[in-house]
Amino acid sequence: NTVNAANALLILENKSGSDGSGVNNYVGIYFRVANGANSDSQLQYVRTGDNAGAFQFKARNASSSYPNLMTIKSDGKVGIGTTSPLTSLDIVDSSNGSLTEPLMIRNGGTGVGTNVGMVFFNGNGINSGAGALAKIKAIDVGNYDADLVFETALKSGFSTGGTSERMRIDSS
């Protein structure tokens, strides 16, 4: 846990800028694999204001540019496909006309009854002993079919984590 520069094992520093000025100053690490048709990437920290900045993860693409793939701002917001995340996790997919989904949640298991989904908590959620507020699950029902199930917390079971199915969209 590094709380100040004195505890750091490695310091990368760009002394450009001062309070009230010097935004868009960078410091970072450059990675390169191969010689010629290189595979390159960068991990940079950019100053965005007084006592504020963002980590930026970049990788060379086919056109030899280095688009920003992911940003972690000093306020904790994470952006994938955006340098200006608006929420805790902001995913932006700008591939026009493509059939890709910007978020995929997977379960490596297979077979009938296997499910994958999301659980929504309030406050500290799982760490506070409180139960889930809601769940959305996709359940494998066999023959390459799946049901989509929506659950919400039971009034009497919230503190124990109990949820109940409220709606199911079946594969038929």
Averages of pLDDT over each 10 residues, the chain, 172 residues? 66 83 87 82 91 92 85 95 91 74 81 86 57 85 90 68 86 86
The predicted pLDDT at position 2 comes to 52
The predicted pLDDT at position 128 comes to 46
Buried/exposed 51-68: b ≥16 CB within 10 Å, e otherwise: eebbebebebeeeeebeb
Q: How far is CA 118 from CA 103, 130, 152, in A?
A: 12, 16, 12
Q: Is the dihedral of CA 113, 137, 165, 160 positive or negative?
A: positive
The predicted pLDDT at position 113 comes to 85
Q: Are 58 and 67 in contact (CB under 8 A)?
A: yes
Burial of 71 (C-beta count, 10 Å sphere; 0-12/13-18/19+): buried
Give the predicted TM-score (pTM) of the model.
0.71
